[in-house]
Amino acid sequence: MKLVKAVVQDKDSSKLVEGLVEKGFRSTKLASTGGFLKAGNTTLLIGVEDPEVGEVLSSIRAICQAREELVTPMAPMGSGAVESYIPYPIEVQVGGATVFVVDVAQFHRY
Ligand code: 2BA
């Protein structure tokens, strides 16, 4: 058995959960925050049998879109130039999904 951990954008999460349910996959949706953008995203935990991993990955690929996000960088620390610092937003491409597939040592449902 594998545990698929998928970090996806909030905008895609409901559609992805629905798509997984339609295909008979169970998932758990966790509210998460990206370390870089410090913006909300969604982490899905999806436990599946090994042969089903490909189908789960196909669903994630089909539903989750990469998007451009604007980020305003913080003033550089210790440069002494904080007063003259003018923050310009930069564009960052946030991926459709960041996915980890890990082996499950044991699975129990009571
Ligand atoms: P964030 O950490 O908020 O990152 C959002 C996007 O910012 C990233 O998109 C990437 O395009 C950019 N980015 C992140 N760190 C950067 C850096 N040090 N320098 C320049 N640009 C950077 P994605 O790579 O698609 O990641 C989307 C979200 O997936 C991340 O949100 C984070 O929550 C998660 N993630 C990505 N890689 C991860 C990893 N190795 N471990 C755990 N979570 C990860």
Exposed, middle or buried: residue 72 (CB in 10 Å: 0-12, 13-18, 19+)? exposed
Tell whether ligand 1 has an atom less than 6 A from the beta carbon of residue 94.
Answer: yes
Report yes or no: 41 and 16 within 8 Å, Cβ to Cβ.
Answer: no
Render pLDDT for 25-37 as a digit per residue (tens, 0 to 9).
Answer: 999 999 999 998 8
For the chain, the structural domain boundaries read 2-74+86-103
Report yes or no: 56 and 24 within 8 Å, Cβ to Cβ.
Answer: no
d(CA 78, ligand 1 centre) in Å = 25
User: Does the pTM of the predicted model rise above 0.85?
Assistant: yes
Statement: 2-74+86-103 belongs to CATH 3.30.70.120: yes
d(CA 35, ligand 1 centre) in Å = 7
Q: Name the pLDDT band for 42 (thresholds 50, 70, 90).
A: very high
Render pLDDT for 44-61 as a digit per residue (tens, 0 to 9).
Answer: 999 999 999 999 999 999
